[in-house]
Amino acid sequence: MNPAPSQSSDIKFEIGHVLFIDIVGYSKLLINEQSEQIQKLKEIVRGTEQVRLAEAEGKLLRLPTGDGGALVFRNTPEAPVLCAIEIAKALKSHPELRVRMGIHSGPVNEITDLNEQANIAGAGINIAQRVMDCGDAGHILLSRHLAEDLEQYPRWQQYLHNLGDREVKHGVRVGIANLYADQVGNPQLPKKFQALKKHSTRMRWAAMTAVLLTLAIIVAGVGMFSRNRVPSTLAAPEKSIAVLPFENRSEDKANAYFADGIQDEILTRLSKIADLTVISRTSTQHYKSAPETCLRSPGNLAWPILCKGACKRVVSL
């Protein structure tokens, strides 16, 4: 049943700056341990300056959960971040409390639940929880949306470390940043991102293997041609080949070593062919910054080149 227009117009959204907190491994604790840890976490949260200031201004909403809760600040986007840092520092005195936090700014609205109790809902709450779920104990994770806002302030730039996108519940992709410094946060890559990185690495190695297998077939063909060529009364010209540097087209600049590794592997395999002179990698490195030279300056070299990029073929220069 669709709600009547008058009911829909009663829903009022506002932008809330949400800090979602939970205790890692809470369900595995004994009943008395759960009670003690929740009580201690509440004391730490209530003791932060940001909570006291927001409550005094009437700018704070609370959403309790079984193993933690959400704080919705309605003053500034920095408030939940400052609060998270205060909490993280206080937790250093309580190593038994393994807490993770997620922060996001988004639409929220106050509702009344089935028990006639005041509650909070909205995308701001949901995304903050999804961001938190991507972390491990000690992590303070932010949505990229909020991180980009904070990056405009020099004071936060040293704290923010982009982790990339992550698929969360219902197939939604969320950009996430890790907030940490020397005494705050957890600099370790979250386990969920480690698994994603391992999968990406396996896919890259699979692609590299396919390239090398193709290369092996080409090299074998060149070798057979060299052995079975028709004798000639004229002296055959010396056969030479060079492999230009490959370009890293990935958005992750750290993957550049894959491109270098493929070039090295090709050079190694080609060097095993008899009667074939392989130009050294050092001699071709200057083409890395000017790949068009291989096509536009035919007077530079006197041997065929296995080109990269747009060439995609062997050409004689």
Same domain for 219 and 136? no
Residues ≥6 apart with Cβ < 8 Å to 39: none
* pLDDT higher than threshold 60 for residue 82: yes
Angle at the Cα of 118 (from 67 to 18), degrees rounded to 5?
A: 55
Same domain for 209 and 172? no
Which sign does the torsion angle of CA 21, 24, 27, 30 carry? negative
In CATH, what number is assigned to the domain containing residue 65?
A: 3.30.70.1230
**Is there a domain that residue 1 lies in?**
no
Structural domain that includes position 96? 9-188
Continuous segment of H or E residues that includes residue 156:
helix 154-157
Q: What is the pLDDT of residues 268-314, one digit of tens each?
A: 777 777 777 888 777 777 766 555 544 444 444 433 444 444 343 33
Same domain for 31 and 66? yes
**What is the torsion angle, in degrees rounded to the nearest 10, for the CA atoms of residue 130, residue 131, residue 137 and residue 139?**
-170
**What per-residue confidence (pLDDT) applies to 205?**
60
**Is there a domain that residue 4 lies in?**
no
Name the band, by pLDDT with cuts 50, 70 and 90, for residue 254.
low
User: Of 1, 123, 9, 15, whose CA–CA distance to 61 is shortest?
Assistant: 15
% of the chain exceeding 90 in pLDDT: 43
Kindly state the greatest CA–CA separation across the chain.
101
Mean pLDDT of 156-179: 89
Out of 126, 158, 188, pick the residue that ends a domain.
Answer: 188
Same domain for 243 and 184? no
Name the band, by pLDDT with cuts 50, 70 and 90, for residue 256.
low
**What per-residue confidence (pLDDT) applies to 290?**
55
What token pair was written down for 77? 């986007």
Strands of the chain (E only): list them: 14-23, 60-65, 68-73, 99-112, 118-121, 140-143, 160-167, 173-179, 239-243, 276-278, 305-306, 314-315
d(CA 51, CA 80): 9
**Is there a domain that residue 283 lies in?**
yes
Give me the chain's average pLDDT, please. Answer: 78
User: Of 278, 283, 258, whose CA–CA distance to 268 is shortest?
Assistant: 278
Same domain for 114 and 50? yes
Number of domain units in the chain? 2
Same domain for 55 and 171? yes
* pLDDT higher than threshold 90 for residue 229: no
Same domain for 164 and 22? yes
**Is there a domain that residue 30 lies in?**
yes
Same domain for 111 and 74? yes
* pLDDT higher than threshold 50 for residue 236: no
* pLDDT higher than threshold 80 for residue 264: no
Look at 198 and 25; give whichever has higher pLDDT.
25
Mean pLDDT of 178-186: 92
**Is there a domain that residue 2 lies in?**
no
Name the band, by pLDDT with cuts 50, 70 and 90, for residue 201.
low
Most confident segment among 42-56, 212-226, 257-271: 42-56
Name the band, by pLDDT with cuts 50, 70 and 90, for residue 251.
low
Same domain for 254 and 147? no
Which residues lie across from 49 on neighbouring strands?
A: none
Mean pLDDT of 237-246: 74
Flag the least confident range among 7-16, 133-142, 165-174, 186-195: 7-16
**What per-residue confidence (pLDDT) applies to 297?**
43
Same domain for 206 and 181? no
**Is there a domain that residue 277 lies in?**
yes
**Is there a domain that residue 3 lies in?**
no
Look at 227 and 262; give whichever has higher pLDDT.
262
Same domain for 203 and 182? no
d(CA 118, CA 107): 17
- Other CB atoms within a 10 A radius of the CB of residue 310 amount to 10
Same domain for 174 and 214? no
What token pair was written down for 20? 């979602």
**Is there a domain that residue 246 lies in?**
yes
